[in-house]
C-alpha cells in the first residue's frame, strides 16, 4: 500500500514519536522512509542591513543549523536501520517548513507523510501545530497526524 513514507522532524518528542510510528508502518508495508528537517536560512531583517555585526554571526548560525539537522536526522536514520529499513535523510533550507515538507514529499515520490500533531511551537498551537495544519492544507499526499 505505501512504498515511501516521509517523516518530518523538528527534534521534538512528538516528532520522534511520529517517526517511530512511521517506521513501524514502513516495516509493516515493506516501505522505505525519508526523514526531513527544514530550517530557515540565515537572513538579516529588513532595515537592519547597516548593523555592522549581527548578534549571531552567519557561520555560527549555519553550524548550529547543520548540527541540529544531523542530530535529528541521524536519530531517525538509526531507528530505521534498527528496523531493517532504508532511510534517506534530507536537510532542507526554507522559510516555511511546511512548504519544504510538501515539496519534499512530492519530489521524493512519497505516498504518505507521518507528522507530529505539533512540535516546538507556541502554547496556542497545542491542539494542532501550524506546520502540521499547513501541510494538511497544501499537500496532495495523504497525511497521518500522530499525537
Q: Specify the CATH number for the domain of residue 111.
A: 3.40.50.620
Question: What average pLDDT is seen over the chain?
Answer: 89
Task: Give residue 112's pLDDT.
Answer: 98
Return the ∠ at Cα 130 (arms to 128 and 136), rounded to 5°: 75
pLDDT confidence of 50, banded at 50, 70, 90?
A: low
Structural domains of the chain, count: 1
- The per-residue pLDDT for range 104-146, each reduced to its tens digit, is 999 999 999 999 997 655 444 444 468 999 999 999 999 999 9
The three-state secondary structure class of 10 is coil
- Helix (H) / strand (E) containing 68: helix 58-82
User: Strands (DSSP E) along 23-146, which ranges?
Assistant: 32-39, 87-93, 112-116, 143-146
Is the predicted pLDDT of residue 47 greater than 80, yes or no? no
pTM to 2 decimal places: 0.87
The three-state secondary structure class of 90 is strand
- The per-residue pLDDT for range 82-114, each reduced to its tens digit, is 999 999 999 999 999 999 999 999 999 999 999
The three-state secondary structure class of 92 is strand
Domain that holds residue 19: 4-146
Amino acid at each position: 500500500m505505501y512504498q515511501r513514507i516521509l517523516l518530518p522532524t523538528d527534534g521534538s518528542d512528538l516528532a520522534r514519536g511520529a517517526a517511530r510510528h512511521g517506521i513501524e508502518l514502513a516495516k509493516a508495508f515493506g516501505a522505505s522512509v525519508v526523514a526531513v528537517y527544514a530550517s530557515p536560512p540565515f537572513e538579516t531583517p529588513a532595515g537592519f542591513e547597516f548593523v555592522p555585526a549581527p548578534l549571531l554571526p552567519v557561520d555560527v548560525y549555519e553550524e548550529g543549523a547543520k548540527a541540529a539537522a544531523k542530530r535529528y536526522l541521524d536519530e531517525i536514520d538509526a531507528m530505521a536501520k534498527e528496523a531493517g529499513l532504508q532511510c534517506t535523510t534530507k536537510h532542507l533550507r526554507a522559510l516555511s517548513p511546511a512548504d519544504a515538507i510538501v515539496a519534499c514529499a512530492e519530489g521524493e515520490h512519497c505516498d504518505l507523510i507521518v507528522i507530529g500533531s505539533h512540535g516546538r511551537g507556541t502554547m496556542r498551537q497545542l491542539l494542532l501545530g501550524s506546520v502540521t495544519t499547513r501541510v494538511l492544507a497544501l499537500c496532495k499526499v495523504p497525511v497521518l497526524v500522530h499525537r
